[in-house]
Structure 1
């Protein structure tokens, strides 16, 4: 039911208007302009019926206040005027009113005008929504993002502009066709909408290029956590659509610009974020980079990728079904881990640590199949000998093992990880391979 706010200092007129409207609309009545503005601080009616002649604050003064507020300026206003005052009629329309209604009220005429205005307003909202949305993903479009950032150009508002690009998206279209490519973009957009809160703005700039504006003064470490999770979840969801035999994975690269340090307008922020994105693309793709930061070394980039992998693994464990994901876990192992996690989440006192072990060639070369088989067998034995009965572990991939430590602090988890590394070295009996790990609290 549409909500109408009626503002009039004449009590009989308020009662009359409410009597005419109440069977069709939700009606709120107030008898001063000041009360109307107070009401609007916490409410958003669909239409305001506003008397011109009121003491203290008249209808024109209330209208001026509404026009100065971005939120309230979109509410349609209809003025009440006395008799046939041509000057008032012209002034009402010039101030931006949708129409005027003369006193005394004629019920049928009043309802007809209000119905027409509400219908026109609804149609305009639909057209505005179409004009600012991307047709495929239902995200906001570039035009809206430009307008938003250019409106805040002169403000000292702090925030972050993220430019996102899907790596290997051309291969998706070439391999599976544009229908699947569109599904990938829609799923990508869906993740962004879920991961960005209501204050943020998410848009599709075109093709596989997306942008996010977050109007918050986050510390960089906080934003890094958000971005890592975003990359992990996007890759997890998108790669589920693709066949395992296609020979490639879609990943995400993100360039980040800071407002106002790297720019204020859309083009300034876009240009800075684009340069940061180019840096990621030129350095192996997958990951993120801040425009103002110095170059990352290889070790730091690998660490970021491992953290992203851990988030993906955590998401896989929490999935209820056994589908494709970042890691392929054997079904029985998957079920054991999933049900175990579910049980532990019900016990609020439980601390859980997620450990991901990876066997690597000490020469930094790609590990061969024969060496990988030997390494994973030794790793499995080291894990079995080092963990308690209540812990859960399973193989994931040909050179990786995942373990979940029950009722263990982060410090305890570090001790266990080092114990497994030592056991691995003892069982290996040479220095051809090394064992590395990443850990995250669940």
Structure 2
């Protein structure tokens, strides 16, 4: 009887331990951001409010990644996700002992230090965080840049009031940020209507900061605006350009499956980018199509581009069981009508 009782007790304890572990895993799933593993928006707000009530002090920082959409457009969403994970890993490390970090938006993060009580802490910590995050590289040596601002606790503050104050500072900083010799230079003054803007500064802001070899990859909306600009230009200046639509299809003439699309389209994007010139533009048109605009190119040049991409495509091991179809058509000058 004693042995049976001990066996029943051990079995119940195993079930209890298993249940506790399952509950722990569920709490983690509820509290953590699914991609980065740090706190999600709801949890970080709850944690910060609890700490504010306890300490009645603290410093809250808001940061986001500059031009994050361009990272996704140029390198793909997988690289974008990796960059966010790397950022989260840094934030988790620097808040491990005396702070907390959470992801509150696509590329927006919050950090809170509950024991901070000196205004000088804000600028010191900003420099430290920016320096650490600046070391993160997306791919091919391309670094990320972040904007970060913070604020100190004021009487009766809660998470929302502190977040709004820090976020407002972040918006103002973005307006006055200057890029010089590839580095972000921040000013401590705010934009005013009387501020004179140096034309050289504008040129530096407009220029592509890190030129990626090969064609210029853009999202479809930007590609559309470039197309319309080229049309307008060709109505004034004689020139030739062409559009090429590349479509992925399997040997049976059907579109690739959902599982195949991501791998195939990633490989095709690399092929197109490396096969075109620096001045050519392309975009993803659909889940299985890319649209290319080749500038200053005659009909025979268009065919050379098609042949070059098809050859590289056929030599790619992971794409050998796919067919690459194409269709090209000329880009004509827009016809303008002037009212008399």
Structure with bigger RCO (C-alpha 8 Å, 6+ apart): 2
Structure 2 length normalisation: TM-score? 0.49
Structure 1 length normalisation: TM-score? 0.38
Which structure has the larger Rg?
A: 1
